[in-house]
Structure 1
Amino acid sequence: MRKIKIFISSVQQEFAQERTELYEYILSDPLLGRFFDVFVFELIPAIDKSPSAVYLDEVAACDIYLALVGSQYGYEDAEGVSPTEREFDMASELFKTRLVFIRKNSPISQHPKQLTFIKKVQEVLVRKSFNTILDLKTNVYSALVNYLLDKGIIRTSPFDASFDNGVTINDLDEDNVKEFVRLARLKRGFPLSEAAHLEDVLIHLNLLRNDKITNAAVLLFGKNPQRFFISSEVRCVSFSGVDVEKPIPSYKVFKGNVFELVNQSVEFVLSKLDYSIGTRAESNSIDGEYEIPREVIAEAIVNAIAHRDYTSNASTQVMVFRDRIEIINPGNLPLGWTVKKLKEIHTSVPANPLLAEPMYLSGYIERLGTGTSDIFRIAKKHGLREPVFTQDDMFKVVLFRPIADQISGQVSGQVSGQVSGQVPLEIKKLIAVLEGEMKRKEIQDKLQLKHRDYFTENYIYPSINEGYIEMIYPKTPKHPGQKYRLTQKGKLLKESL
C-alpha cells in the first residue's frame, strides 16, 4: 500500500522544533507510521532548483497539506506573498486535504499580513489551536486518525457495516433479493413483499445508508461478491484416509453469495458421507439419513461463513476425512469467551451483525445462541463422539464420523462409497431414494439437498451418463413435466444396495 504523503508548511525559523518533532512523532507512531510519510524542507538534498519551486512541487505531490501558523508571516516574494500562503493557495486549488494548526498566545504580536492570512484560513476551514508541542501532537493525531476513518482505511464499525466505494446498486442481484424476501416471509414473517423495491429491502435491513451499499449487502446479494472480497470463498476437499495426503479424491472452490456458499459446502460434505435407508417395514416412504445429521453439518458451516473475519486473506476451509470433518474459518470468539461457553445456550454476539440478521430471517441461523449447543445435543442424540471446538490462529470445528466397525451394516440398505472401484456415492444415494418416476426436486428433497446446480451436476448428470437413470422426455430435457426413472442397470444396482 502506498503511504499517504503529508507536506508540513510553516515559517521554518518559527517552527523548527515543532516540524522536527512532528516528523519524528508521525513516523515513529505504530499507527500513523504505518500509513503516512512526511515531507519537511530540512530533509531536501542540495539541488539546482529554487526552494519555492521545490515546495510547490511537493504540495502538488502530497495528499495532505498540514500548516503550522504562528505570529510570523515569513519571507515575502516579489508580489508580497509568503511561501506558506502560496502553498496553502496551491493546496486549495488542487483540492488537497488541508489541516491548519494555529498557535495561541504567541509571544510576539502577529504580523498584519499574518492576521489577514489567518482570517482567510478561518473562512474556508475549521482550524485547531495549540499551546504546546504536546497539544499539537494530540491534535495532529486526532486529525490524521479521522482522515483514515473518513477514507475507510481503518474502521471502528464492524466489517459488514462498512462501505466499499467501488460498489453500486447494479452489482447486486435483484433476483437474489426477491428469493431472500420469499424465504424470510415464509420462515420469519418478514414484513416486505416480494414486489418491494430493491432499495426498500436494503434500507429495511440496514444494508443501504446515505446511498452507500454496505459490505454485508455485497456478501448477501452480490452478483459476484469475490470481485470485491476475493477471500469470501469456501475451499472444500476430501481425503480417502485420516490424514492430509495425496491423491486427493475431490477438491472444490465454491464462490457466490453467502447463501450459495452454505448450500454448496453443505452438499459437498453430504455427497461424501455414508447414507442409510430403512426398509418398507419401517416406513412406506423409505426415508434415509446421513451418518452425521444434515443440521449438524449445516450449523457448523453456517457459523463458519457468517462469523468469519472477512478482513483476513484466508478462506473458509472444509476438509472431509474418513473419520471426521474439519471446518476452519479465519475468525475469533468474542472477547472473554471460551469454547466451553459454546456448549451452552448463550447470548448471540455475531462478528458480522448485518450479515447475520438476513441469514436468521431466511432460516439459516438462530439468533438466540442455540446453534452451537444444538451441534453438541444432536451429535449426542445420534451416538456420535462429542464435537471439538478449538481457537488458535483460526477457529476450528471437528465433527466425528462413526468409526468403521460402527458404520458397517448398521442400518439395512446402507449406501457406502469408500471401496475403490465402486459406483460413485452420489449415484448410489440417488438410486437409493428414486421410486418410480420422480421430479428433480422430489429426489433433491429426499436427499435433503438445496442447491439445484450442485445436485444436477453431481447427481443427475453422472447417473444419466452412467446409464443408471433416464429421463421420461429424453428429447426435451427442460420439459416442464420432466421426471426421472431407473433403467434396468439402475434397478440391478438398487437391488444390491
Structure 2
Amino acid sequence: MLEAIQKLITRGESIDLEFKACAKHLPKNVYETICAFLNRHGGTLLLGVLDNGIIQGIEPEKISQIRKDFVTAINNPQKLSPTTYLSINEENIKGKKLIRIYVPESSQVHRCNGRIYDRNEDGDLDITDHTVQVSQLYQRKQATYSENRVYTWIQPKDLRSDLLERCRKYLQINHQNHPWAEMNDKDLLKSAQLLQIDPETKKSGITLAGVMLFGTDNLILQVCPAHRTDLILRKINVDRYDDRDLVRTNLIESYDRILAFVTKHLADPFYLEGIERRSLRDIIFREVASNMLIHREYASGATSRLIIEYGRVMTDNPSRPHGFGLINPNTAVPFQKNPILSAFFRVINRADELGSGIRKMMLYGKKYGGEDPQLIEGDNFRMIISVPEFGGDPAKKVKIVSAENDLKHEARQLTGQDTTEVTTKDTKYINGVHDGVHDGVHDDGVHDGVHDGVYDGVHDGVYDGVHDGVHDKPLTKTMQKIVQQLQESLSTPQLLNVLGYSRKTRNYESSMKKLLNEGFIEMTIPDKPRSKKQKYRLTEKGRKLLENLIC
C-alpha cells in the first residue's frame, strides 16, 4: 500500500486525485473536493501532501481531532447533502503521517453548503448556476445507477405500509435517536432518497430502489420483471435439486428467506471466541445475503442464484463490474454498486459498513469451512465459500444390496455380459465382492449407522405417505388453480379475476378455507382478516406443493 501511495504522489493531482495541506487542521475546501468526487467518478484524497507533491505530513497529536471533525462534517446534512460514509486510513510515508480517504462515485447528486460541485482535471467547479450542466449530471446519475430510476406513476401510498412500519418499529427499539423512527412514510422515503424528482418531467415518484424495498410483489414484477433469487440445494440429486426456493418478493423479506434457507441446510458448528460463542455460519451468510441483494444490477435480466453443494456454497449475482478476476481483499478498493440500497440496509442492520462485511467473511471463512472464500469479479459477481460437512458425500453413497436378488444384474455390470447366464467363476467373484463389502461394513461399525439411517428413512417415508394418503383428501382442481395463481400475492378481487369468477362461489370459499387450514397459503395481514388491503400468498409448504404441481 505504501508503494501504491508513493506512485500516486509521483503521478500528481488529476481528475481522481487531490492533495491537501493539513498540518494541524482540515482546510475549508476539503468538503468541496469530496462533493466533486461524489458527483463525478470518485477519487482519492491525500491529506498532508502539498499541491506540488511534497509530503508535509500531519502532526501526530492532531490526527485524532482531524478524523473526528471530518466524520462529523460529512454526516452533517447542512454541510454535505445527502450525507455519506467514507473510510479514513492513516498512512506513514518517510516517517510522516498522512490521511488517505477514498471517495467512491455516488448514485446521488450531492451539495456542499447548498452548492453543487463537479470535478474537472485537478479542480472543483461550482456548477450550481449552470442549468445545462446540472441537468446532465442528474441524467448521468440515473443512467449509471439503475436504482435511481424514478417512476412518477408510483407514489408512497402504492407501497407496503406494513414493511415501512416494520422498519420504523425496528429503529424505535434499536436506534431510538434515528430521525426515521418518528417520520411518516413520505418523509422517511424522501430522507432515504427513495422518493425523488424526475429531472426531465419535474414530477416526484418512487425510485427503483424504493420499489424493490417496499413494493408489492405485483409492483416489483412490473418495474423489474426479471427479479428473482434462486435458492437451490443440490447434494443428492446433483442433476436437478433436492430443495429449492424461488424468491420473487421485496428485498427485506428476500433477505429473511435467504437466511432461512441457509439455516435449514447448513451446519453451524460450535465456535468460541474468547468467552463468547459466535455463529460463524450466520456471520458469513449475513454478508452473503446482503451482498446478493444490495450489490445486484437490477437492470440485468440475469437471475441471482445461491447453490448449496457438498462442501461448498456458490453464488452468482448480476453486476456492474469494476474489474475482472479473483479479488484480493487486502488490496481491493470497495465500491458501492447501489449506494441507496446499501445505506438503507446498513440503517436497519442488514449489512455492515462498506468493506467491513467482506473482511469479516475472510476472517471467519477459513475457520468455518477450512478454506478462504473466493470472490470473483465480472459481469456476474461470484462467491465460493467452503462449508463444513459431517459425513460422506450423499451423491456417492454406497448402496448395499442383496447379492442373491441382484446377482444377475451385478454380473452384467462386472462382466459386461448382456446374457442372463452367469458362470460359476463370475458367481464366486461376485459373492467374494459382496462378502468383502458386507464384512468391511460390519467390522468398521458402519452397519449400525447405515441400518438406522435406512430404517428411519424408509419408516418415515412410508408412514408419511400412508398417513397423507389416508387422512388427506387430494387437492381439487380449484385448489390447484389457486396455488398456481398465487406465485405472487393477490387480493380477493385479483384472485377471482384470474380464476374467471365474477363473484365468490361456495366452491371458491371452500377451497380457500381448506388451503388456509392446511397451511398452503396465508394472509398478508393475518391480524385483520377483513382488511381492504388483505392479500393471500403461498407459504413455504405451498411453494413446495407448487413445485410438485409444475413438475
Higher RCO (CA-CA < 8 Å; seq separation 6+) = 1
TM-score (norm: length of structure 2): 0.41
TM-score (norm: length of structure 1): 0.46
